[in-house]
Amino acid sequence: MTTQNLLYASNKLKPKGLDIELATKWLMFNSSKHIQSPRVGVAPNPWNIKEIPGHAMPVFVPYAASFSETTDLQAIALQKQFGDNDLPIVVFWSGGIDSTVALAAMIKNFHTSMLDRVVVQMNEASYFENPVFFDKVIRNKIKYASSSYEYTQYNIVHGKMADPLWVRCEIVEFYKHYPEIIGKEIQRNPDILINAIARENCWGTNNPVGKESAIWYYETIIHNAKSAGYDIMDCEDFYWWWNFNFCFSHQKWDLLGYEDITNSTVFNNKIYMEHVISWFDSKEYQLWSMNNRSNGVKIKSTIRSYKMPAKEYIYDLDNNKWYRDYKTKTGSGLANEKNKEVLAVYDNDEIIYA
Amino acid sequence: MLDFEELPYAEWGNEEVAEQPIYSGYAQYGLYSVICDRFVITYYDPSILVPLSKILSSRCRLDLCRLDTASNYTPGLLDNNCCLGWTMNEKLSFTRFPDFNKPVTHPGLLIEKNMLTDDLLVSDRQSFIFALHCVIKLEHHVNELYKASSVMQDLVFGDTLDLSKSTDYIYEAAKTLQDSIYRILYTTHNFNEMTQKIQRIIDQYDNTELTIRIK
């Protein structure tokens, strides 16, 4: 009998024969529907989720390219990859920052013939989130649609996996409500962060996390970083590491429950991995992220500055000052609705739906 | 350096909005900007502020707050001259869309903070918001005038007094007028272009009672 290794788990997947208390504690800090698991370092892993084969965290090396340069490099690399087939390139565009960066990069870098293959998959919500980009950049220039696709017939591009490259977005709320933690070396004075975490509510509830759980959580993340050779500096670094190490992988499957997927006659994780490409899933993007820790590039203590290099990249194309200066992180959806919940993905390509 | 390519909104309506009276005994509402971390406009009528926040939703997030629910609120405590010196003490989930129709209410809502001294970008954008506020008020006014004058015309000149039928038509036309104006506000960024388009829409109604000219 072949042993299956779990690659992805929804927070509705009950752990079998595991420490329920530990699993419950771990779930308290999940601010999403996924179970978070570390890519590197020592940490509790109640569901024993494995790393995605071929998607390990790169070893740190100095990397000097800017976000903009890295994005252009990714466009050139993907253009080469798309040259291997002649399938249409469907970009899931929500109008949010990440998917707009992907689309902007294609427009800036793709050859005309490659751009002719691009179809923007969008809906009304995409337009309402970014009408200027649609009117200035997409309308009358690029094909767009709101329809269903048989995934095996297309290259699908999405903007997921961007958030873990930045800093966990909760930091913008922390910076407003606990400004005293900005830039502080937290390991010398951990109470300042622990107290802030303790006052926050557990995910999906009105119950504060509490001091004891906050300490457990703080120590878990710090210990994990140390065991992987990273020394956490300040609050931004803390939230970056949590995001980058614990939340990067599972976003790979964020499109798995979308209706197009489940309408496919033959579908498994192998087909998904071959046809669905995250724009931000590259070694270079990760190195950019690892080389820009707490240096004011990802956020400069204000909400406005969050993801500013990405917003500037878009501004370069559409000159929309409002979007650059006032766009906030929002929980934007992709063009299609999910109609099935994914419980688990295994390394033998099996997908279990709820 | 400010770029006033969208002029003349900076002057348009600023004085009128800034000097709105605070009505004692009335509710007072404000729009809170997450990015600025300040209130950018206050007004007593949410039927103006709600469409304003919706029209601006693709440009900046504005949360509707009922200011008079704050325990430290008194009439005249904050107005449009000083609301940039006030922030909200209520926790918001910045990553989720605001509920346009449900104002944030809380006894600990209001906190005074330093007035802006150097963030010209914020005051520039506030001027744009003031200007849009004036346009929406104007649209409400035009709409009311249109409805009133149309009913009068129908009563005097109509072949029939089937008011239920004509009233439906009038309200449908008024809604069309509103939708057209809001669509222009939503999609047009150049203020001159915006006001010209709206004037053309109003002119189409060709109603002698509507003598309003956009500035």
Query: How do residues B102-132 score in pLDDT, each as one tens digit?
Result: 888 888 889 898 876 666 667 778 888 888 8
- The amino acid sitting at B172 is E
Say if residue B43 is in the same domain as residue B112. Answer: yes
Cα separation of A66 and A349, whole Å? 36
B211: number of Cβ within 10 Å: 7
Q: In this structure, is residue B209 part of a structural domain?
A: no
Interface test with A, best of B1, B3, B9, B35 (most A CBs within 10 A): B35
Cα separation of A35 and A13, whole Å? 9
Q: In this structure, is residue B3 part of a structural domain?
A: no
Q: Which two tokens stand for residue B165?
A: 């039928």
What average pLDDT does this structure show over A73-102? 95
Answer yes or no: are the C-beta atoms of A169 and A96 closer than 8 Å.
Answer: no
Select from A98, A77, A25 the least CA-distant residue to A306: A98
Check whether B90 has a pLDDT greater than 90.
no
Contact (CB<8Å) B95/A331: yes
Q: Which two tokens stand for residue B112?
A: 């005074």
Say if residue B144 is in the same domain as residue B102. Answer: no
Give chain B positions within 8 Å (CB) of A322: 58-60, 125, 189
Which 3 state secondary structure label does DSSP give B211? Answer: coil
Within 13 Å, how many C-alpha atoms sit on residue A47's CB side? 27
Q: In this structure, is residue B193 part of a structural domain?
A: yes
Say if residue B62 is in the same domain as residue B147. Answer: no
Say if residue B110 is in the same domain as residue B130. Answer: no
What are φ and ψ of residue A5, in 5° steps?
A: -105, 135
Give me the pLDDT at residue B209, please.
Answer: 46
Contact (CB<8Å) A130/B58: yes
Domain boundaries, chain A: 7-31+39-46+167-248, 67-164+251-326
- The amino acid sitting at B54 is K
A10: number of Cβ within 10 Å: 20
Cα separation of A56 and A35, whole Å? 18
For residue B5, name the pLDDT band (cuts at 50, 70, 90): very low
Give me the pLDDT at residue A183, please.
Answer: 83
Which B residues, 13 through 52, put their C-beta within 8 Å of a C-beta on chain A?
A: 33-35, 37
Taking the CA of residue B159 and the nearest CA in chain A, the distance in Å comes to 43
- Exposed/middle/buried for A93, CB within 10 Å: 0-12, 13-18, 19+? buried
What are φ and ψ of residue B177, in 5° steps?
A: -60, -45
* CATH of segment(s) A67-164+251-326: 3.40.50
Q: Residues A138-158: pLDDT tens digits?
A: 998 999 988 766 777 889 999
Taking the CA of residue B61 and the nearest CA in chain A, the distance in Å comes to 7
Contact (CB<8Å) B37/A323: no
Q: Which of B37, B58, B93 sits opposite A131 (nearest CB)?
A: B58
Q: Residues B75-86: pLDDT tens digits?
A: 888 888 889 899
Contact (CB<8Å) A129/B58: yes
Contact (CB<8Å) A326/B60: yes
What average pLDDT does this structure show over B31-54? 90
For residue B10, name the pLDDT band (cuts at 50, 70, 90): low
* Structural domain for B158, as ranges: 123-204
Answer yes or no: are the C-beta atoms of A162 and A100 closer than 8 Å.
Answer: no
Say if residue B90 is in the same domain as residue B150. Answer: no
Which A residues, 162 through 181, put their C-beta within 8 Å of a C-beta on chain B?
A: 169-170, 172-173, 176-177
Q: Which two tokens stand for residue A67?
A: 């976000």
Give alpha helix (H) positions in A247-337. Answer: 259-263, 269-275, 283-290, 308-318, 321-326
Residue of A nearest to B124 (CA): A322
Say if residue B95 is in the same domain as residue B58. Answer: yes
Q: pLDDT: is A233 or A14 the higher one?
A: A233
Say if residue B28 is in the same domain as residue B108. Answer: yes
Give chain A positions within 8 Å (CB) of B58: 128-132, 322
Contact (CB<8Å) A128/B58: yes
Q: Residues B136-176: pLDDT tens digits?
A: 888 887 777 777 766 666 555 555 555 555 667 777 778 88
Select from A274, A314, A265, A338 the least CA-distant residue to A71: A314
Interface test with A, best of B6, B87, B94, B190 (most A CBs within 10 A): B94
Q: In this structure, is residue B8 part of a structural domain?
A: no
Q: What is the DSSP letter of A202?
A: P
Give me the pLDDT at residue B212, please.
Answer: 46
Q: Residues A245-284: pLDDT tens digits?
A: 998 888 888 888 776 555 555 567 888 888 899 999 999 9
Contact (CB<8Å) B189/A328: no
Say if residue B26 is in the same domain as residue B103. Answer: yes
Complex ipTM: 0.75
CA A83 to chain centre: 26
Q: Which residues contact B111 (CB under 8 A, 6 or more apart)?
A: B86, B87, B88, B89
Say if residue B137 is in the same domain as residue B92. Answer: no
Mean pLDDT of all residues belonging to chain A? 86
Give alpha helix (H) positions in B110-190. Answer: 120-157, 163-187
Q: In this structure, is residue B182 part of a structural domain?
A: yes
Q: In this structure, is residue B1 part of a structural domain?
A: no
Give me the pLDDT at residue B208, please.
Answer: 43
Q: Is B61 on the interface with A (CB under 8 A)?
A: yes
Say if residue B113 is in the same domain as residue B137. Answer: no
Q: Is A270 on the interface with B (CB under 8 A)?
A: no
Say if residue B24 is in the same domain as residue B57. Answer: yes
- Which residues are registered as beta bridge partners of A118? A89
Select from A315, A344, A292, A242 the least CA-distant residue to A34: A344
Say if residue B23 is in the same domain as residue B74. Answer: yes
- SS3 for A313-339 is HHHHHHCCHHHHHHCCCCCCCCCCCEC
Q: Is B187 on the interface with A (CB under 8 A)?
A: yes
Answer yes or no: are the C-beta atoms of A240 and A306 closer than 8 Å.
Answer: no
What are φ and ψ of residue A298, in 5° steps?
A: -80, -35
* Residue after which a domain boundary falls, among B118, B142, B157: B118
* Helix-, strand-, coil-residue percentages of chain B, each rounded to 5: 45, 10, 45
Q: Residues A157-208: pLDDT tens digits?
A: 999 899 999 987 778 777 877 888 888 888 888 998 898 888 877 766 777 8
Q: Is the dihedral of CA A136, A140, A142, A144 positive or negative?
A: positive
How many domains would you assign to chain B? Answer: 2
